[in-house]
Amino acid sequence: MKDAKLVLKANPDHQSIVSLSKEIAIGGQEIVIIGGPCAVESLTQMETVARELKSAPIQALRGGVYKPRTSPYAFQGAGLEGLEILASVSKRYDLPVVTEVMAISQIKEISAYADMLQVGSRNMQNFDLLKALGQAGKPILLKRGLAATIEEFVMAAEYIMSHGNPNVVLCERGIRSFDSYTRNVLDLGAVVALKQLTHLPVIVDPSHAAGRRELIADLSRAAIACGADGLIVESHPEPEKSVSDAQQALSIEAMTQLVRSLKPVAEAVGRKTYGVQCPQFAIV
């Protein structure tokens, strides 16, 4: 870690803010909630998610179109068609979108449609990809590797930054351990450590950490309580029918309830939540 020149805090107040759009930024006083399905499946699915969750409110949309699946026979993502769906829904509902980039060859195409590029857990140490993303000109959501140490995670961010991109957000998404009850183990200790060590925003993905929908709301509140700058949570209009990660997908109702429950938690630790952006969705 002593090698890290760009990622570590220069002083205790050093905090970077990464903008997703004119209105939405990660790392400031407001926590940012990114919601949406594991994978983009159809226009109807993404329309429903965006329309319903805009008023929750979430601040950005997720949805994979290039999916890193364990089996080569599983759905690999909707590709370009998925990107077009993401972009049209993003525009209509004024929600920035984040989607995963798996290869250098996809960077240009995805950058034309998405507001933030996600590096998945399996690619955290794909150093050539990280170097190329240094030149992407888009903010990067860097997920922690399945079994990466905090130092390896920090150094992966250093790769992107040292190649020219200062807009990196770290994402703790659970690490492998011996217990198969949960999919992974959510490492909130790492969130606290990364907030102390680095100036980069840190968000938490409780969905891939837990792998079980009944654990997600409490883990989300715990993440905000320990200082996370936001959350990325999988949510689907028909969770059981989700083509991937169905067991961890939250219904729209559960997601809305979760988002609303975060306000007092955020305020208890000196943070705020975003209000609804569109006046017609205003809630009191």
Minimum Å gap between C-beta 62 and ligand PEP is 7
Task: Find all residues with CB under 8 Å of 256, minimum gap 6, and list them.
Answer: 52, 53, 55, 56
User: Which structure tokens are listed for 38?
Assistant: 């594991």
Contact status, residue 266 vs residue 31, Cβ threshold 8 Å:
yes
Nearer to Mn ion, 115 or 245 (CB): 245
Minimum Å gap between C-beta 173 and ligand PEP is 4
Residues 104-123 within binding reach of ligand PEP (CB under 6 A): 120-121
Taking CB under 6 A as the rule, which mask of x and - marks residues 180-219 in contact with ligand PEP?
Answer: -------------------------x--x-----------
Task: Check residue 38 for interaction with Mn ion (CB under 5 A).
Answer: yes
Peptide bond into 57 cis (omega under 30): yes
Q: Which residue is nearest to ligand PEP (CB)?
A: 120
Q: Which of 114, 145, 112, 111 is nearest to 127 (CA)?
A: 145
Cα angle value 105/111/112 (rounded, 5°): 110
Task: Check residue 143 for interaction with ligand PEP (CB under 6 A).
Answer: yes
| Binding piece for Mn ion, criterion CB under 5 A, among 4-12, 40-48, 241-249, 271-279 | 241-249
What is the binding site for ligand PEP (CB under 6 A)? 38, 64, 68, 100, 120-121, 143, 173, 205, 208
